[in-house]
Amino acid sequence: MRKLLLLLFVSSTLLAFGQQAEGRLQRLRAKNQHSTALQYLKRATLATPKEWNLAGLIYLESGMPDQAVQSFDAALAANKSEASFSAEILFAHVDALRQMGSEQAAAKRMDDYSSAYPAHRRSELWVNRDEIGHLVLPGGVTMELAKGLNSDYDDFAPVQFEGQLVFSSSRMQEGYEKTDKRSNEPFIKPWVQDSTKVRLFEMGDQPLTYASPYHVGPVHFGQNRIFYTKNELQKLDGLFRLQLYARSRMEDGTWGSEEAFSFNNNAWNVGQSTWDAKRNRLYFVSDMPGGIGGTDLYYVEWGADSIWSAPMPLRIANTEGKEMFPSIHGDSLFFASNGFPGQGGLDLILLNLETEEWYMVDDINSPSDDFSPFLDGMGSGWFASNRKAAFGGDNIYRFTIDLTALEAEQAKKDSALADEDAARQANLSVEGEIDYPGLPVKAGQWKKAGGTTLFLTLPPLYYRYNHADLSTDEQAKLAFVTQTLKEQPELHVIVRSHSDCKGTEAYNLLLSKQRLVTVEKYFALQGVTSAQFHGEYLGEAEPGIPCEMDCSICPDDIRWANRRTEFIVTNQPRAFTPSLPSSVAAEGQATVDASSVPMTKIVPVQEQKTAEIPVKAAASQANNITRKTAVICYLVTGSFKTGSLAEARVQTLRGQGYAAQVMRVNGMYRVVIPMNERPSAPELDFYRQRLGKVWIAKVGG
């Protein structure tokens, strides 16, 4: 790749020298002297796998994927021992094949990578690639080279400032002929396109060019500041590393003095920033120690004391590859990465910071490097790419999205998702003893029989992703609850709302609260008073089906089952200690002390000393069962992606005295304990104390 800025982020680690060619290539690559390395490769004779692999890395980093593939293939042929190559080599081979358009060969090599390094996030993303969102735009995207802007040099990182487009470029400057010896091209500087021409970007009486005699840029504006990346003037290990600086805008419109970013360090690179005004955060790129890839995304928060917080990695975005060029627009963070299962080189990724949902931007990405995105409005923006164009190097493109077609397609998807969720709910086996239409009759029978304790669990209501509204059908179900409460004022309804794991904990807690408030408002409109209503909102804390993998790739049928509101009709509301919404608490409902609730007597299994097990569990070990009992439901203790994980859970439970077993349900491995009687709510609490998150499933469900 020709992008000078990317070359500066290549690892500077010097490896042990072997043969002459190997040592020479290592030294040149470590110092980013790719131009010299390419000249050396023209006359060098390579023989070992290490030499061929080094050549492949240099070719790939120099934007020559065809020569890189040939070199990596030669390394494979020379690898007589069939020893596994490093993760860097394997993925570089994958990347080069993708850039060449050899998708099948790239997929096979990526399978080799995930087999050799199964714990890597890149492997996890690859194995679960079908779960990754793809931003496919129905009306397509109109793309064109930015007019009057590009040159035969590298042009990239466009941003808008006061109606003008500011960008980075390595084009020649009049009167300044110094070049980067590693690439034989001019140094990167910030430029601006105004109404008449392209010129160096100025800050007051002089261009920002003078911030460093070497590379300066990209730049970003925010918080009345300009943030810019530049080379330090002091070498370390033979490298001038990149660091982040800022200047503040004064009240009179002038720019203050240069301020070094608090976490600059000449031992690693820091740069490529974007300001998030909503969260008071600065996102940036670094290869500092502790990351998982070549470069990772980090963020710091600007405190009330005018001090930056400690850098935190943006874990949802980072991979073992390169994550670069962040750009914020509302809740959307755009960035470039070569660690996702994309089309090749750097691909554009869209991450929603609230929901933590991310998408591959398919309609813009290509097998080449696509990077430095910037949105200047809804459905329009800029990005850079080194795909073939009329100009050489990296070029800036303008794109526009057909929002009318996008909105129409989204409406169709919402309708289809609603139908799909309705079908799921219709076929769901639930833990409750009663459905909504049968609730009034069941509660009436209990009252006539003179019952003393009532716990009727109803099927949950489920929600579309990121929604809190109730459909007409769902409101009709709640009408039966309203009828029951009005007919029997001594009864109460316990309502517990949840979210799935997508998104931050704070966001999910708020979303579950909104779902609870929706139900609360319905009951209030129907005349159900706060004396008969207890509510909890728990966010993602108590999933109906725990996701045993990274939530970003958790199957939707599992996440759907967790987007729910649960209902229990009871005459013993003190069996719960709800965390009430502020609107309910204001009406005078008090929380209760759960310690005052009498527990059903728990009888341990005979001679079992490792755990107390409720008597209702038909899950005792075989030598402890004194008579055969019918299994009427299952206590589910986990749902796993693989059988090996499920079996490990089974062995742990059996060691505690539970006759656990594995059931295959909807492609997942569910670990269950058979029950000869459905546990009461207090008994379920007991199980949760002993076993963690558990739920009930009917036999056959």
Residue 406 pLDDT: 66
Residue 367, Cβ neighbours under 10 Å: how many?
21
Q: pLDDT tens for residues 296-317?
A: 999 999 888 888 998 999 988 9
How far is the C-alpha of 654 from the C-alpha of 670, rounded, in Å? 15
Residue bearing tokens 């994309």: 342
ω into 218 cis (within 30 of 0):
yes
**Fold match, 141-410 / 434-596:** no
Give the pLDDT confidence score for residue 515 in this predicted structure.
93
pLDDT tens digits, residue range 186-200? 888 999 987 778 888
In the three-class reduction of DSSP (H, G, I as helix; E, B as strand; rest coil), residue 114 is classed as helix
CATH topology of domain 141-410: Neuraminidase (2.120.10)
Of the candidates 190, 144, 194, the one whose C-alpha atom is nearest the C-alpha of residue 165 is 194
Q: Which fold has domain 622-698?
A: Alpha-Beta Plaits (3.30.70)
The rounded Cα 313 to chain-centroid distance in angstroms is: 12
pLDDT score, position 62? 86
Contact predicate 399/142, CB 8 Å: yes
Rounded mean pLDDT of 51-64?
A: 90
Give me the phi and psi of 304, to 5 degrees please. Answer: -65, -20
Report domain extents, the chain. Answer: 4-128, 141-410, 434-596, 622-698
Residues 587-605 pLDDT 10s: 333 222 222 222 222 222 2
Per residue in 545-570, pLDDT (tens digit) is 887 666 766 777 788 889 999 998 88
How would you class 81 by CB atoms within 10 Å of its CB: exposed for 0-12, middle for 13-18, buried for 19 or more?
exposed
Tens digit of pLDDT for each residue in 147-173? 888 888 899 999 998 888 999 998 887
Is 137 within 8 Å of 129 (Cβ atoms)? no
pLDDT value at residue 324: 95
Q: How confident is the model at residue 235 (pLDDT cuts 50, 70, 90)?
A: low
At which residue do the structure tokens 């299962």 appear? Answer: 341
The CATH homologous superfamily to which domain 434-596 belongs is OmpA-like domain (3.30.1330.60)
> What class is the 4-128 domain?
mainly alpha
Residue 37: exposure state from Cβ atoms within 10 A (0-12, 13-18, ≥19): buried
The strand pair at 380-385 and 395-401 is best described as antiparallel
pLDDT-derived band at 666, boundaries 50, 70, 90: low
What pLDDT, in 10s, does the model give residues 333-378? 999 999 888 888 899 988 888 877 778 888 889 998 999 999 887 7
Which of 181, 182, 233, 188 has its CA nearest to residue 208?
A: 188
Taking Cα atoms as reference points, which of 3, 13, 2, 1 lies closest to residue 239?
13
C-beta neighbour count of 206 within 10 angstroms: 10
